[in-house]
Chain A
Amino acid sequence: GAGVSQSPSNKVTEKGKDVELRCDPISGHTALYWYRQSLGQGLEFLIYFQGNSAPDKSGLPSDRFSAERTGGSVSTLTIQRTQQEDSAVYLCASSILAGARVTGELFFGEGSRLTVL
């Protein structure tokens, strides 16, 4: 497809289970971001991938969160031993990096809504 694709669109899980969220960015976009959007909050940065550089993991809230990006394309965000406070919409965005990191237009997927019971 032409846009950023995320799956699943909705995920309900039990506390303590692991979940994987997938992001398929726009072809050719070298930069990929994961954000978390909680109700009434702005977007919370989680992790940033740019080409073959080491990812910026500074936004990951705990060591239960991890992400990888294989072959410079698809990315998977993994949350281990989920907690109720992990319930949120997880957004993926991709960008053609042009100049400084924040100057490129971000193209967002529709998000994965995670509910932890």
Chain B
Amino acid sequence: AQSVTQPDIHITVSEGASLELRCNYSYGATPYLFWYVQSPGQGLQLLLKYFSGDTLVQGIKGFEAEFKRSQSSFNLRKPSVHWSDAAEYFCAVGAGEQELNWGAGTKLIIKP
């Protein structure tokens, strides 16, 4: 069965530290991969997406993600987090005309 897993419910990092949020999927073919962010009081916003080509994709707000086929992963990274990055992050995976599968989300907490 197709599935998306975000293993970390919460992650706490210090401001200025690097960040990696994990996303693993189980799909039969290479899927489309997305990261969305949900900031407090706001709708979800697309950070970046991968369809094909270069496996390292750059997104908004200084985020990037790397598609690793061998590991069925699409981890989100940022070299130095800012307090404004505190939010909930969702990985989503889809293929063809099927509806997206969403991970349960990872809540990012920033320590001053």
Contacts and interface: CB of A to CB of B under 8 A. Distances in A.
Interface string B63-91: 00000000000000000000000000010
Contact size range, A: 20 to 34
A40 interface: yes
A3 B43 CA distance: 10
A111 B103 CA distance: 18
B43 A102 contact: no
Determine chain A's interface SS by DSSP, over half rule: loop
Contacts of A100: 32, 94, 96-97
A106 B49 CA distance: 11
A114 to B, nearest CB: 16
Interface of B: 4, 9, 32, 36, 41-46, 49, 51, 90, 92, 94-105
A105 interface: yes
Contacts of B101: 42
B73 to A, nearest CB: 17
Contact of A91 (B41, B43, B92, B97): B43
Given A42-B4, A42-B105, A102 B45 contact: no
Nearest to A111: B43
A4 interface: yes
Contact of B46 (A40, A45, A106, A111): A106
A58 B96 CA distance: 16
Given A45-B99, A106-B46, 18 more contacts: A3-B43, A40-B104, A43-B90, A43-B92, A43-B100, A43-B102, A48-B99, A102-B32, A102-B95, A102-B96, A102-B98, A102-B99, A105-B49, A108-B36, A109-B43, A110-B42, A110-B43, A111-B43
Interface of A: 3-4, 35, 40-45, 48, 56, 58-59, 91, 93, 100-103, 105-111
Nearest to A101: B97
Residue from B41, B99, B102 with most neighbouring chain A CB atoms (10 Å): B99
Residue from A3, A42, A48, A110 with most neighbouring chain B CB atoms (10 Å): A42
A40 B9 contact: yes
A100 B100 CA distance: 11
18 contacts: A4-B43, A41-B104, A42-B90, A42-B103, A43-B90, A43-B92, A45-B99, A58-B99, A91-B44, A93-B44, A100-B97, A101-B94, A101-B98, A102-B94, A102-B95, A102-B99, A107-B43, A110-B41
